[in-house]
Structure 1
Amino acid sequence: MRTITGPVIWLFLAITPLVAPHLLAQGASLPAFSKMASLSDGWEPLEFPKIKRHSRYELVHEDGSQVVKAHTSGGASGLITRMNIEPEGSLLLRWRWKVSNVYENGDAREKSGDDYPARIYVAFEFEPEKAGFFERAKRKTVEVLFGEELPGNALNYIWANTLPEGTFIANPYTEKTMMIAVNSGSERAGEWVSIERDIVADYRKAFGENPPPIRGIAVMSDSDNTGEQANAWYGDIVLAPTNTD
């Protein structure tokens, strides 16, 4: 695994190698937390060498199922699984999660508040024909330096602090990532919440066009900007076309 130095979540996926991608058929689960013997069974850690504190991830049994528990206390890191999926028509992303609390100083509109007790990140393939000259040149420089392919736009589903549920807002670090508040506030903290999102519809709303192939999905609980702490629990994450029960 190659580590990176930036503090921004989109950089996790931007300069982590996309070699040997996990190919996933529509209608199947991502590597299921409930069936893993270890977190390395289909997921990889993502860590910042310049951030001293990393979020901790472990397999635990919670309410009768094996899930991933995350703990973050002034740090940042995540887990990622790689893939190459063409999202045709409609493609649903389903998961359930639980958080212990939200952050008092969390604010999706500010770099200083860009922390979330739980988030799920969907990264898409870069489309060079739609990029300007300077963006292509910058990306080519990074690829030469790191020997890796960079993904393009991303959707970031978050458990927000005060941002109203359903809000779409550009990440304060980059407009290439659109933040979507699927939960907000502490009212449902401490209980499992099930989420279902149409990735294709969300991408169209966020970027005004159909999505390119999906190249990776990550989970992350971070608090490096706010310095606060939280626990989060992630259940299995499933991708399915709309005609699949």
Structure 2
Amino acid sequence: MRLLLNAALATAIALPAAAGPVSFANGWQEQRLSLFSSNDYSFGNNLSMVSNGSVSIAWTRVGQADWGSRSASWSWTVEQSVPATNLAQKGGDDRNISLYFVFVPESVAPSLQGANIRSLLGNDDVRIIQYAWGGNHSRGQVIPSPYGPSGQGVTVALRQAGTGSHSERVDLAADYARAFGGQPGALVGLAVSGDSDDTDSVIRAAIGNLSLG
């Protein structure tokens, strides 16, 4: 399932976006990963989500003016949490809420603006950083994705499973260097997901005040 997730995330580069502070009211769409599994998203000032034994993503494109973004900040809240899991384990790696940043080399970005899932699946140029609230890992730990092509995606643990409200600020360039080496290319897509299907649990969460820098 996570292989499909990575592919669906990559299609964010074909979708509309907002420059500067990121709006959750416009330009976001849900991508189902299963015919029988879907989260419930509400879009507005914040993106709120209920995940009941399910998994899916909501995604948007980053406008070309923000392709050079190297930092991000946001606030998020979890009112009901999945159990703590091992985010490095293929299957059983549920997490409350994740925010994904999708990068491709600057030279490649223009040619991929109209790409679809089939053309991007397994694309070696795509790199994905996922910031996660969930699991049982130390803050800042970089966890290689157990799904999809090796070296294409990582999870950066920010909050362990549990409830509460927090504000985050991340250095995308530094985390990219730790995860993949070198400098990030163009930030072309964003996505938010909740994942409760493996533990058959319930998530109630929201994210807002997302800004790129």
| TM-score, with length taken from structure 2 | 0.82
Decide whether the 8 Å contact of 1:158 with 1:183 is kept in 2: yes
Q: 1:115 to 1:145 in 2, by over 3 A?
A: closer
Decide whether the 8 Å contact of 2:100 with 2:130 is kept in 1: yes
Decide whether the 8 Å contact of 1:68 with 1:233 is kept in 2: yes
Which residue identity lines up with residue 46 of structure 2 in the other structure? V
In structure 1, stretches of 5+ residues that fail to align are 61-65, 130-142, 241-245
Q: 1:74 to 1:20 in 2, by over 3 A?
A: closer
Q: Does the residue aligned with 1:9 lie in a helix, a strand or coil?
A: helix
Q: In the TM superposition, what is the alpha-carbon distance from 1:11 to its structure 2 partner?
A: 1.9
**Percent identity (aligned):** 24
Query: C-alpha distance in 1, partners of 2:95/2:167?
Result: 17
Q: In the TM superposition, what is the alpha-carbon distance from 1:223 to its structure 2 partner?
A: 1.5
Q: In the TM superposition, what is the alpha-carbon distance from 1:8 to its structure 2 partner?
A: 4.1
Which residue identity lines up with residue 120 of structure 1 in the other structure? L
Q: In the TM superposition, what is the alpha-carbon distance from 1:146 to its structure 2 partner?
A: 3.5
Work out which of the residue numbers 183, 197, 201 in structure 2 matches 1:228: 201
Work out which of the residue numbers 170, 191, 199 in structure 2 matches 1:218: 191
Q: Is 1:69 paired with 2:54?
A: no
Alpha-carbon RMSD: 2.8
Aligned match of 2:158: 182
Aligned runs of 1:71-220 on 2, under 5 Å?
Answer: 71-83=50-62, 84=64, 85-87=66-68, 91-104=70-83, 106-125=85-104, 146=118, 150=123, 152-174=126-148, 175-186=151-162, 189=163, 191-220=164-193
Aligned match of 2:29: 44
Decide whether the 8 Å contact of 1:67 with 1:236 is kept in 2: yes
Q: In the TM superposition, what is the alpha-carbon distance from 1:47 to its structure 2 partner?
A: 1.2
Aligned length: 201
Query: C-alpha distance in 2, partners of 1:99/1:145?
Result: 30
Q: 1:47 to 1:145 in 2, by over 3 A?
A: closer
Q: In the TM superposition, what is the alpha-carbon distance from 1:185 to its structure 2 partner?
A: 3.2
Decide whether the 8 Å contact of 1:112 with 1:226 is kept in 2: no
Q: 1:45 to 1:144 in 2, by over 3 A?
A: closer
Q: 1:204 to 1:221 in 2, by over 3 A?
A: same
Query: C-alpha distance in 2, partners of 1:205/1:166?
Result: 10
Q: Does the residue aligned with 2:91 lie in a helix, a strand or coil?
A: helix
Decide whether the 8 Å contact of 1:105 with 1:113 is kept in 2: no
Aligned match of 1:22: 17
Q: In the TM superposition, what is the alpha-carbon distance from 1:111 to its structure 2 partner?
A: 1.3
Q: 1:209 to 1:125 in 2, by over 3 A?
A: same
Work out which of the residue numbers 12, 23, 37 in structure 2 matches 1:53: 37
Q: Does the residue aligned with 1:202 lie in a helix, a strand or coil?
A: helix
Query: C-alpha distance in 2, partners of 1:215/1:94?
Result: 17
Aligned match of 2:6: 10
